[in-house]
């Protein structure tokens, strides 16, 4: 399974990885509040590294390829023209094993709707009652390309706008947001057709999540959307839907033992890795690649994905329930605060879920116990060790939060 990620998100990732680049310093100085959005993009990116086979960065909406090469991403601020696009330049600054998993070639796959239809869908949203629900809100940073007169789809949107009655026409700002939404609708439909996962830029993801589910499905001649099974209702969950449900479950458990809360739209895998890395991008990338090599999280998500593709709901529910039970047990054990003997027994239970050859993680578990129980806890931990990366994620996330307070 491949993940399709917005270039805007990847730019945010690289602002964290290479903060000293002059072009990044300039952006961060102008938009300091955007660092949180970049961290969310980084959590998406880390998750994709861990559980997907390949990451695709789509640049097909860039009209002037030569101009994109004149935007130079150099650590020393050099300004000579590059033979690579800005996105290719940034990939070169990542560790080699990470960069090898990223494709920057224009993606030419099919989509469930055409570019023209996607433009019309987005424009119609902003001239309908849906406009209030999809607005990204105050402070949303929409990339500058959508404000450019040279933007590749601007002509189409201007034509749609001119075709409306004067009182229904969109102002300049609304037209920009419609173009921004259009790209998300089209890439989402392309990912659906090619059986990939689309991980949109934070603000675009908010907009897409508020749209009717059929927005990216094609119409048939009578204007209705075709059902493959007459009278049947209900749809298989998309990866973003069950992923959000998984996030919600994980974060509610995390809150129960730490009081910390997260936006359910942020993938828990990436946020856990970032927290455990102390928000250090280099350490987080290394941890992500270690989890990728381990493979257990990747295998579990693959199993869940296959169950959905096979329309095997019992198998999917069983896999999902098993994950929830693991997290439930971990949260219950780490939430205890009194009783030495009880804590020692709990330590034995907790470490039975941890990966082999993780002496550091054994120490992590012991450090969560009262001081008087740690020596005995370490001894038990070193004799009972089994494998579950999901448990390790949760335990290290809890430790990172408790250490930071």
Q: 181 or 214, which is more confident? A: 181
CA–CA separation, 34 vs 143, rounded Å? 12
State percent of the chain over pLDDT 90.
43
* 252-292 per-position pLDDT tens digit: 999 988 889 898 889 999 999 999 999 999 999 999 999 99
CA atoms within 13 A on the CB side of 86: 21
State yes or no: pLDDT of 47 exceeds 80: yes
Residue 56's beta-bridge partner residues? 4, 103
Cα gap 354→387, rounded to integer Å: 5
- 374: tokens are 């740690």
Residue 87 pLDDT > 60: yes
Strand 197-199 vs strand 54-57: parallel, antiparallel, or unpaired?
unpaired
Q: What is the pLDDT of residue 191?
A: 85
Contact 300, 390 (CB under 8 A): yes
Does the structure show a pLDDT above 90 at 65?
no
Q: What pLDDT, on the 0 to 100 scale, is given for residue 192?
A: 82
CA separation for the pair 85, 95 (Å, rounded)? 18
Confidence tier at 404 by pLDDT (50, 70, 90)? confident
Say what the pLDDT of residue 226 is: 45
Percent of the chain with pLDDT over 70: 72
Q: Binning pLDDT at 50, 70 and 90, where does residue 370 land?
A: low
Higher local confidence (pLDDT), 197 or 372: 197
**What is the structure's pLDDT at 239?**
67
Q: Give the pLDDT mean for 113-140.
A: 86
What is the pLDDT averaged over residues 345-369?
Answer: 50
Distance CA 83, CA 68 (A): 10
If one compares 82 and 178, the residue with the highest pLDDT of the two is: 178
Residue with the larger pLDDT of the pair 223 and 7: 7
Which pLDDT does position 188 carry in this prediction?
87
Residues 275, 10 contacting (CB under 8 angstroms)? no
- Give pLDDT, residue 175: 95
Helix H, strand E, coil C: the string for 174-231 is HHHHHHHHHHHHHHHHHHHHHCCEEECCHHHHHHHHCCCHHHHCCECCCCCECCCCCC
**Mean pLDDT score of the chain, rounded to an integer?**
79
Position 233 pLDDT exceeds 80: no
For residue 75, name the pLDDT band (cuts at 50, 70, 90): low
Q: What is the pLDDT of residue 108?
A: 64
What's the mean pLDDT in 211-234?
51
The pLDDT of residue 130 is 87
Q: Please write the tens of the pLDDT for every residue from 322-349.
A: 999 889 888 877 764 333 434 444 444 4
> Cβ–Cβ contacts within 10 Å for residue 306, how many?
14
Kindly report the pTM of this predicted structure.
0.80
Per-residue pLDDT averaged across 222-230, rounded? 45
């Amino acid at each position: 399974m491949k993940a399709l990620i917005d270039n805007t998100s990847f730019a945010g990732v690289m602002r964290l990885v290479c903060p000293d680049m002059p072009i990044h310093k300039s952006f961060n100085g102008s938009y300091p509040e955007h660092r949180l959005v970049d961290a969310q993009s980084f959590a998406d990116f880390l998750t994709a590294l861990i559980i997907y086979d390949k990451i695709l960065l789509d640049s097909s909406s860039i009209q002037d390829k030569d101009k994109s090469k004149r935007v130079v991403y150099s650590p020393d601020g050099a300004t000579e023209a590059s033979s690579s696009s800005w996105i290719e330049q940034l990939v070169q600054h990542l560790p080699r094993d990470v960069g090898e998993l990223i494709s920057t070639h224009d993606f030419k796959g099919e989509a469930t709707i055409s570019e023209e239809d996607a433009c019309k869908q987005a424009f119609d949203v902003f001239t309908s009652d849906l406009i209030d629900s999809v607005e990204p809100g105050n402070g949303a940073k929409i990339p500058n390309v959508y404000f450019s007169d040279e933007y590749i789809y601007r002509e189409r949107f201007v034509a749609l706008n001119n075709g409306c009655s004067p009182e229904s026409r969109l102002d300049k700002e609304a037209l920009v947001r419609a173009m921004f939404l259009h790209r998300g609708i089209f890439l989402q439909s392309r990912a659906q057709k090619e059986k990939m996962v689309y991980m949109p830029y934070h603000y675009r993801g908010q907009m897409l999540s508020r749209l009717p589910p059929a927005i990216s499905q094609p119409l048939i001649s009578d204007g209705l959307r075709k059902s493959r099974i007459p009278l049947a209702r209900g749809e298989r969950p998309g990866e973003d839907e069950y992923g959000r449900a998984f996030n919600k479950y994980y974060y509610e458990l995390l809150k129960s033992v730490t009081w910390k809360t997260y936006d359910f739209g942020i993938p828990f895998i990436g946020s856990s890795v970032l927290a455990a890395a102390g928000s250090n991008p280099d350490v987080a990338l290394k941890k992500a690649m270690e989890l990728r090599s381990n493979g257990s999280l990747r295998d579990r998500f693959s199993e869940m994905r296959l169950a959905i593709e096979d329309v095997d709901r019992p198998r999917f529910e069983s896999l999902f329930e098993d994950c929830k039970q693991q997290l439930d047990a971990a949260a219950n054990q780490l939430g205890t605060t009194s009783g030495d003997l009880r804590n020692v027994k709990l330590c034995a239970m907790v470490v039975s879920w941890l990966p082999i050859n993780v002496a550091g993680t054994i120490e992590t578990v012991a450090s969560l116990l009262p001081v008087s129980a740690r020596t005995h806890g370490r001894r038990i931990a070193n004799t009972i060790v089994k494998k579950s990366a999901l448990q390790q994620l949760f335990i290290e996330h809890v430790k990172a939060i408790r250490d930071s307070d």
